[in-house]
Structures are given as structure tokens and as C-alpha cells.
Structure 1
Amino acid sequence: MGRTGERTAATGLLVLTLIQGALASSAVKVLPSVNPAKVGDTLVLSVSPPTNLKSGSWAVDDSLILTWVGDQQAVFPSHNGRVSVDLSTAALTLSSVTVADSGLYIVQSTDPKIKANATITVLEAISNVTLWANQTSLLEFNDSAVLTCSVSSGSSPSYTWLNGSSVVTASERAQITDGGSTLTIVNVTRYDQGPFTCNVSNAVSGGTSHSLNLTISYGPDGMDFTVNGQNTTSFITGSNLTFFCSAQSSPPAQLQWAFRGEAVNGTSAELELYGVTEDQSGPYSCLAFNNRTNMFSNITKHITIAKSPLSGSKQQTLSVWLLPFLLLAGFLFSLPDFGGSLSQMH
């Protein structure tokens, strides 16, 4: 073979080697045993497919971790005592990982020529989720609640707020700030009492705080007034009446009954009247007062008490039936013999 033929063969071999190297590099991948990893885990970075590299190196970002040639390996001081390489597969084992171990891990070799990488993230586990509020006793429509969620440790925390079993989403009244760790409820209402919990998580762990309840004073409002358990307002004389008054209020409202604008001896939810008469007709009021909100509310009903319309008709019907008998009796007593017979009987 001439020199021209030798050069052509050498060129072809070089091109083939470059093509094979490129194919090898594109086909090789780094597969982590877990990603993201948790602080303290042991991480294994495998080369796929497993390859027997006569020499090579592992690096993270721009810093070498270790190199090897044949059966000899050298670990750099930054990772001394924590890393090793399987010379038969090129797999890297990194123990007791820390957040600082996050980065781009690169394996490469010249025999055979390969280069592959994988980005690894190491996260610190979430621990000790705590929830507290600036104040827990508030007035409806007047105060705002600020709830803060914190953790003792944890990387890249994500916060979820719950009111009971419902997720709290950001709105005009529910403001979520400080990366999600603070929930501000503006102008609280009676429906904002909780229980509130805070869930904190990242890709490797999670935790939930204890529950927290708010005491919200409200009312009195939404008053209701019934008589004998009904909304009827007309009754007959002689009835026994039980008035019942209720109000939506926290703390429970103080109640006072009044008749025709004058207070009566009744400060409980019930007012009882026995054998009522017509002169007990009139307006009955229930007044509610909340000593925490300093608010009043009242409800009034006009109660009518009258004789039964049936009583007169029954008396008239009875008279109609008795009249013939009374007339007959009078007629008999007017007869002389009938009267004399009665005298002899006595």
C-alpha cells in the first residue's frame, strides 16, 4: 500500500473513532439512585449502560471529586472519606450528602471516550412546623388576624394553608405573603374561626402544624321569636304561652323581655305566661345585648289574646235545645191537677 493509501486508511480510522466516540457519549447517561436526595442520604450515580472505563474522572460543576487510572483512584480533599468509584461500572457513591452537594455531576473518560452528566439536588427535610397568631381574640369586621408558619429546618419549603378541611387561597381578604409563610385575614368574620393549620413540604419531606382557633366576637343579629314553638301570634284566653327568643351572638347575648315597652321580669331565653287574659294582648319585645361587641338588637311581635269565637255559638246552640223542654215544664206546672198531684206526693 502506498503512502496515499495509508493516509486514507488512517483518516478513515480517525473519522470512525470520532463517530464512535460521539455515539458513545450521546448513548451514555448518568442515572441517580434518588433525585432530589435528602440530607444524610447515600447517593449512587450509575453510568448507563455500565461501562468499564480504564481511566476517568468525576466532577461536580467545575470541581473534581476523584480520578482513576486502572485500579488506582485518587479522591480530592473536598470529598475525602465520602466518595468511591466502582471501577467495573464507573458508578460513583457519595455518602452523607449535604445541601452543598447539589450541582451538575459529570463523568468522563478518554478510554473509551465518553462524557455524561446529571443535575442533582439535595434538600434538607422539613422539621418542626409551628403556627402562631398575632392575636386570637378578635372583633368581627373590625380586627385582622395575622398567622405565621415557621419551620426549624427545611430547604425550599412550600406552604399550604387550611381552614378546617378547605384550602385557603389568596383573595382580597386572605393575603398570603412572605413566600407563603404568612396568612393575613383582613376584617375577620364569624366564619374565620378555624381551625387553621399550615402544611409545609418540599420534594423530600413534609410536616403539618398544630391547629389554631380564633375567637371572634360577633352579633347579636339574626334574632328569632316564637310562641309555643310556632310563629302564631293569636291565642285564646286561658292559654299558657311560652315565648322563646334567640340571637346569633358570640359570646352569648344577654336577653331582656319587655311588654308595651316596659321591662318584665325575664332575662332568660324563655318567658312563660299562664292563663292569659285579653288585657295581656300587645307588643312583646326581646332585647339582646353583647357586652363584648357593645351591640344591641331586638325583635318585637304583637300578640293578640281573645275569647274563643266558638264559646258564644255553643251557648246559643244549647239554649235552642233546652227551650222546648223549659216551655213544656212551665206548661205542666200551670195545670191544676198536675200541681195538686205534686202537692200530694210531698
Structure 2
Amino acid sequence: MYLCLTIPPPRVSWTRGPDHLPLPDSQRYTITPSGGLFIEGVIVNDKGEYICTGSNIEGSVEASALLIIQGKSLILHLNSEAPRFSTLPTDSTVLNWQSVEFICSAEGTPPATFTWTKAGAQISDQRYTVLSSGTLRIVNVAQHDQGQYECHASNRAGANFTVVQLIVLPEGRCPDWEQRKVSCESGGIADYQRRGRSGPRRI
């Protein structure tokens, strides 16, 4: 049961979804005298967003609730939002024994939790660390670390993921950049220009 209250006493209505569709014509849906929405015998088709609108002489206000059905259990998430990426990781090229970080962050309600996989498989190597911010850190990179990685962000409202590539060069070999102020063998920050791109990049 959902409750929707305003002062002074309002006229309350309930709709479904961002388009404010009317509630299904079913006796299972009841708006109580206090303004609550009661759904009897919840079924899978009842899932989705419900919007309560309360209006009186002072104006009107809306509140939303997300109804999620999981098996035979019912979960209500007020004002929940699935994760949306705010920072996407970028492909990186490093040498053997260097370290690399893939920055991955997302916004959502409640805050997202992050996991990383490589080619769809869980990462278990102790050289890999997933920070609470979502960043993946790999130290002492080896040739077998090369490949595709996936950043997964999830909360109780949903999940999202993005992919990134790591290329590992044999030790002593440098990317063919047109300009370098710091040699790649030093493992520092190189100012580079390649195919029209410029700026600092960790290698």
C-alpha cells in the first residue's frame, strides 16, 4: 500500500508511468480515504512506476514510486533510479610491469555498486583492485592482462555496463607516437600527439 498526504486535505489521484496513464480498470486497485493506493493480489503486469498527484487550494504536488516484482516477492523503491554512467573508462595501452587505472563512475538512487569482469568472467587476481568509486586499478601489468574489460554498475533499481580495452606491449617497445616528452620506458606521463589528438596520457 502506498500513501500520499498533503496539507490541507487534498484531492488525490494516481496514474502510471511518465505519461500519466490511468490505472487499470480493475477492482484490485483501490484509492483509500487517506489517499493511499492499495493493490490487491499483485501480479507481474502491475510492475512499473506509479505517480501520486495531490492538489488543493495551494497548488499541486507529485510523488512517484517504483513497483518491482521479483518472483513471488514485492519490492517498493521510492524515487529509485537505475545507474547512469557519469564517467566512462577509456582504452589504454601500457607496457609490461606498469600500472593502469580505468575510471568508471555512475550516478543512481540508491548509489551504485561496481564490479568488473574480463571477457565476461569474474576477476580474481590480487593485482586487481576495484575502488568504491568504481575505478579498476591493475598493478604490475602482464601480457595476459590484455583484453576487454567490463564495468558493471548496479543498484536495486537496475544495472548498466560499459566495456574498455587494455593493450599490453612487450617491455622495451613504445607506441608509435609522433611526439614524446617523456620516454615510454620511464613509465611516466607522456605528452603526445597521435592522429590529431593531444594531451597528457598515462602509459
Provide the TM-score with structure 2 as the length reference: 0.50
By percentage of residues, which structure has more helix? 1
By percentage of residues, which structure has more strand? 2
Provide the TM-score with structure 1 as the length reference: 0.31
Who wins on radius of gyration, i.e. which is larger?
1
